[in-house]
A and B are shown apart, each in its own frame.
Chain A
Amino acid sequence: MKLLLRLVSQRFFEVLRSLWPVVVLLFAFQWIVLQQAIEHPLQILAGLGWMVLGLMLFLEGLRMGLMPLAENLGALLPTRFRLEFLMLIAFLLGWGATLAEPAIASLAFAAPPDVEAMPGHPLKNNLLPHAIGCGVGVGLALGMFKIYKRLPLYRIVLPTLVLASFLGIASQWRGTGYLNVAWDAGAVTTGPVTVPIILALGLGLSQVMPGEGRSGLEGFGLVTLASLWPIIMVMLLGLYS
């Protein structure tokens, strides 16, 4: 219990530290520069309080509940299975982790109030979170491939970018309305649930790889692929719906 209290207080300040600069900026900007009152200030402050509390509990819960599992999986899986199976598991884990990401939920709440009046708006598509999750999964599987084959990041990022550009041109041309949401999706995905799982898998695989000393870069590059592929998947979803 003592441990819990200490951890919770640490988390509390961690969350508070990352929240206060933007909140102070928004309030100050609204009052001093724009000279406007903030509507429902108490409700907003209460909401921010809930958010700090919630994020703190969530992060601590992740550390206690989910991370031991992820670390164990990351360390054990590469010792038991071949690359193909490992890529499949990476795909599924990436998918699942994305759906548990709090920022994905915020995407649903970012729907404008009159979204009901707009047929075909991407945020009304129930498949959107799954397209993003699928993208993270593909990116992660490719990342496993990259580590296994010791490819430089650029060799995978460049074809990915070319593909994304073609789909982007197609989306723009067909006017799907998915282009902006798709490119935002890349930023939405990589948060407190996905990143530790990604790193655990990457580190686990690179530890069983034979060869010379570590460059320290083993965990890197996976986050990039996991944030580029959702863009592609969401644009594909737009083109086929």
Chain B
Amino acid sequence: MDNNDRLKEVLEKIDNVNASIDLEDVVMKAIREQESVNNRIASYKAKGYKALTVSVILTMTLGILFSLSSNVHSIEHYIITYSSIILVLIILFIQLEMGRTKIFDNHKNITI
């Protein structure tokens, strides 16, 4: 019989030369962690898109408000201006909270 075939025949007895391993728990844990990171990234992306949409709407609103005729210095004009500034600050705050900056929590921790 050809030596190559003979070697094949001899080695057919074994299907594995190494001791068995069990990586199931380790791999599944790593996969779950990766999934969790991917989910968090997807959630941040979704929040980012929302924040971007809100910012675009805000910019457009402010653009429209400030492009109104400035020769009318009425009380309404000042109301609009200051309301806009307050609106900007509120939206900035919402965006920071959505980004988990936790301004209030940090502030509480500092004061305690």
Instruction: Tell me whether A and B are bound partners.
Output: no
Using a CB–CB cutoff of 8 Å, the interface residues on chain A facing chain B are none
